[in-house]
């Protein structure tokens, strides 16, 4: 299977989670979050900006893969994000993205099947190291992809994941959220943690697990812009 970028058409089946140079995360309370221990001067906070998009490319839907790939290319070219969190990647998709976006570093969450990944803009993001954190009880080969990076002198811990799917797997999703929560709580004092992805979380599941008081939803912090509210808008996506 090969993917070719031969059309500007956007796929209607995916929605960007960031726009206008601001970072935004997954809905249902599991959005990108600031580490509770971050300390910065006010002037540094005002000057620091990070643009981020999170996108489930639905790589398992082979029939619509080329159209979805064109849609992703359109949005990445439009917004030029510093960081891209990706879910449901497959190997042909990875090869396509590496060829199409040579100005980004690709980090992969696995080597086979379907998996998560990150694109890091080389001109803006300095890569330090990455790790794959397994979810011990997953039945769907899900994990947490973590990358330590530096942007404008600020240390960041970037994390993305694709939590267990389907309503019946609430317990496993909450187990996976606990892993993310632990990472929030144990981040070093000089590191900001940013998490986003396809969590499949329901509001009640987030309430049961709870999050540290200093974890915030970036979309809410940036003014709740309606046009980028949903990472999966059921009025625009019918599958």
Query: Bridge partners of 130?
Result: 147
List of residues 6+ apart from 166 with CB closer than 8 A: 200
50-to-46, 125, 184, 234 alpha-carbon distances in Å: 11, 10, 19, 27
* CA dist., res. 196 & res. 173, Å (int): 14
* CA dist., res. 147 & res. 187, Å (int): 13
* CA dist., res. 120 & res. 106, Å (int): 7
Q: What DSSP character marks residue 168?
A: G
Residues annotated as catalytic (active site), given as ranges: 198
Instruction: Evaluate whether 156 touches 194 at the Cβ level (below 8 Å).
Output: yes
For the chain, give the longest Cα–Cα distance. Answer: 50
Query: Sheet holding 115-121: strands in order across?
Result: 52-56, 83-89, 115-121, 104-108
């Amino acid at each position: 299977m090969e993917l070719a970028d031969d059309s500007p058409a956007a796929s209607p089946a995916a929605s960007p989670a960031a726009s206008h140079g601001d970072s935004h995360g997954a809905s249902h309370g599991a959005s990108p979050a600031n580490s509770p221990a971050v300390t910065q001067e006010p002037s540094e906070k005002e000057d620091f900006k990070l643009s981020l998009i999170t996108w489930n490319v639905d790589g398992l839907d082979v029939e619509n893969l080329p159209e979805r790939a064109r849609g992703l290319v359109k949005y990445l070219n439009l917004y030029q994000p510093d960081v891209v969190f990706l879910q449901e990647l497959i190997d042909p998709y990875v090869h396509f993205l590496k060829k199409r976006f040579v100005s980004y570093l690709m980090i992969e969450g696995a080597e086979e099947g379907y998996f998560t990944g990150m694109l890091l803009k080389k001109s803006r993001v300095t890569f330090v190291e990455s790790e794959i954190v397994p979810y011990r009880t997953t039945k769907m080969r899900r994990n947490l992809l973590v990358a330590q990076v530096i942007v404008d002198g600020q240390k960041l811990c970037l994390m993305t994941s694709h939590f267990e799917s389907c309503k019946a797997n609430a317990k496993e999703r909450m187990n996976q959220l606990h892993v993310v929560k632990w990472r929030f709580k144990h981040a070093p004092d000089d590191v900001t943690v940013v998490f986003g992805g396809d969590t499949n979380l329901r509001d009640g599941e987030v309430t049961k697990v709870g999050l540290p008081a200093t974890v915030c939803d970036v979309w809410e912090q940036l003014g709740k812009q309606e046009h980028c509210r949903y990472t999966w808008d059921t009025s625009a996506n019918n599958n």
